Amino acid sequence: MKILVIEDDQETALYLVNGLTEEGYVVDLRADGQEGLMQAMDETYEVLIVDRMLPGLDGLSLVRRLRTANVKTPVLFLSALAEIEQRVEGLEAGGDDYLSKPFALSELKARIEALRRRPPLHPIESRLCVGDLEMDLLSRKVRRGKIPIDLQPREFRLLEYLMRNAGRVVTRTMLLEQVWEFYFDPRTSVVETHISRLRTKINKGFTPQLIQTVRGVGYRMDQDA
């Protein structure tokens, strides 16, 4: 699993390289935009982590050129420019995810995993399954075993996101952004409350528990926990 980090701030770069190496990734580092672009074109990486403000060539232009050159490696922007508009700019330039500094390594890892194994979109695929839990995306019905489960629209979306990312950790922030489109940190326990209600609904009378809490990081949906 090879990752290219393009980041000019030494402290952050070191933190990233050390942290990701510990997690078992092979990490290459470039501190200059131009060099980073060359490296990303020359070698094959699974994920690129790009800072927005870089010497040589800024992150947005770098990714635009990469996409123009038809390099489709997933890109995660890492930036102190954290506002919604700047995030939109990042995604419009061809980025796949946007994480604002400061960030927790666990959050970054979860997002890298989500990017790296992003399943190819099957437009025909209309059913998601995790263990005996089944979700029909067309009729918007969910059942576990033979028992239908009644979900509210937001719960359905939450479950869908968890099932699409089955087997990997999703963080609280990822859920807030993807399920609720909240690009801020609410003061109340929105995610916890809804996960807990969802758990009650899908786990009632069944084993195993399908949604696990990963302490300090987030949640993971898995059939064999």
Partner 1 sequence: MRNLVRTASFRLTILTGGIFLVFLIVTFVIYYWIAVSYVYQRIDEEMDWKIQTLTQEYQSGFDPSDPDLLEPGTYVLLQDVNGRFIAKNLPMESDAQRWLSQLQPEPTPTNNASQTFRAKAVSLPDGSRMVVASDLNDIHVVNEFFGEVFVWILAAIVILSSGCGVLVSTIILRRVGEINLLARDIMNGRLDRRIPLRGTNDEFDRLSSNLNLMLDRIEKLMDQVRQVSIDMAHDLRTPLARLRQSLEGARRQATCMEDYEKAIDKALIQNEEILETFSALLRIAYVGSGVDRQRFENVSLTDMLETIGETYEPIAEERKQCLFSTIESGLMIHADRKLLTQMIVNLLENAICHTPAETQISMTASRTTGGVMMVIADTGSGVSEAERDKIFQPFYRLETSRTTPGSGLGLSLVSAIADLHDITINLSDNRPGLRVTLFFPTPSTRKL
Alpha-carbon distance 48 to 86, whole Å? 19
33 vs 95, beta carbon nearer partner 1? 95
42 vs 181, beta carbon nearer partner 1? 181
Task: Provide the minimum distance between the beta carbon of 36 and partner 1 in the complex, in angstroms, as a whole number.
Answer: 27
43 vs 192, beta carbon nearer partner 1? 192
Closest alpha carbon to 220 in 169, 178, 176, 177:
169
Tokens of 55: 């010497």
Task: Provide the minimum distance between the beta carbon of 110 and partner 1 in the complex, in angstroms, as a whole number.
Answer: 17
102 vs 119, beta carbon nearer partner 1? 102
Task: Provide the minimum distance between the beta carbon of 199 and partner 1 in the complex, in angstroms, as a whole number.
Answer: 13
Residues near partner 1, by CB under 8 A: 82-85, 88, 100, 102, 152-154, 180-190, 193-194, 197
Paired with 122 in beta bridges are: none
Give the three-class secondary structure for 92. Answer: helix
Q: Indicate the DSSP class of residue 76.
A: E
Give the three-class secondary structure for 87. Answer: helix
44 vs 189, beta carbon nearer partner 1? 189
CB 74 within 8 A of CB 101: no
Strands 147-149 and 141-144, sheet pairing:
antiparallel
Task: Provide the minimum distance between the beta carbon of 202 and partner 1 in the complex, in angstroms, as a whole number.
Answer: 16
Task: Provide the minimum distance between the beta carbon of 196 and partner 1 in the complex, in angstroms, as a whole number.
Answer: 9
